[in-house]
């Protein structure tokens, strides 16, 4: 069982790389964005609860997000591990993930941060915005606001995982295959 947390600012390539890694290592890719969309579109109890916060312009509380994640883990007992994308985003979420995995006799084996210069990432998102239809990928000010939020809320997680000896920074620039090879080099050392 290998459990990996994939970090990176918007546009760093987490989703692209997750597609390769989940296949190569038989990991279940769990994206919180996908979980929210699934629960909302299926009108589940958790989806309704999450939507009630979103409708008020509030962030979905950690306990709702954590419950969605736990349910997804429980639905996938036959995987060789999990690739967490977009979670945890805060120290509180990281501690909750650790406690949940520990209750199953598992742990986060590594956190991998895809690192790239903000200017490169801004250009990636603006380019993606031409086809994604996402408004937050088409406005440079919104993109930079997302980076500011990332720096304030998510970046402290790097220190949390560095203290545990689990954080690995990986250069997220270059060709997709090159980045995949860099990530695989880190993951291969975990076995």
Active site residues: 14, 89, 128, 134, 146
CA neighbor of 20 nearest in space, from 181, 175, 149: 181
Average pLDDT, rounded, for the chain:
90
pTM metric for this prediction: 0.86
Q: Is 13 annotated as a binding residue?
A: yes
Domains of the chain with bracketed CATH: 2-180 (3.40.50.300)
169 is in an annotated binding site: no
Determine whether the annotation assigns residue 75 to a binding site.
no
Sheet holding 167-171, edge to edge: 28-31, 81-85, 2-7, 110-115, 167-171
Annotated binding-site residue? 60: yes
Whether the per-residue pLDDT at 160 is higher than 90: the answer is: yes
pLDDT tens digit string along 47-106? 999 888 877 777 788 889 899 999 999 999 889 999 999 889 888 899 999 999 999 999
Q: List the structure tokens of 104.
A: 């199953």
Residue identified by tokens 């597609």 is 19
- At residue 168 the predicted structure's pLDDT band, cuts being 50, 70 and 90, is very high
- How do residues 68-79 score in pLDDT, each as one tens digit? 999 999 999 889
- Which pLDDT belongs to residue 191? 64
- Is position 87 annotated in a ligand binding site? yes
What gap in Å lies between CA 67 and CA 35, rounded to an integer?
A: 11
């Amino acid at each position: 069982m290998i459990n990996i947390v994939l970090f990176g600012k918007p546009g760093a390539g987490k989703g692209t790389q997750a597609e390769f890694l989940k296949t190569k290592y038989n990991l279940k890719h769990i994206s919180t964005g996908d979980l929210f969309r699934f629960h909302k579109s299926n009108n589940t109890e958790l989806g309704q609860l999450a939507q009630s916060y979103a409708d008020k312009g509030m962030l979905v509380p950690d306990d709702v997000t954590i419950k969605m994640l736990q349910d997804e883990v429980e639905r996938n007992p036959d995987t060789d591990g999990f690739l967490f994308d977009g979670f945890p985003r805060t120290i509180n979420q990281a501690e909750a993930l650790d406690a949940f995995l520990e209750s199953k006799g598992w742990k986060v084996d590594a956190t991998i941060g895809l690192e790239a210069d903000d200017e490169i990432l801004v250009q990636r998102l603006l380019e993606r915005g031409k086809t994604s239809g996402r408004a937050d990928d088409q406005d440079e000010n919104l993109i930079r606001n997302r980076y500011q939020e990332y720096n304030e809320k998510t970046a402290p997680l790097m220190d949390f995982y560095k203290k545990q000896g689990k954080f690995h920074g990986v250069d997220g620039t270059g060709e997709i295959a090159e980045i995949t090879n860099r990530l695989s080099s880190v993951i291969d050392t975990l076995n």
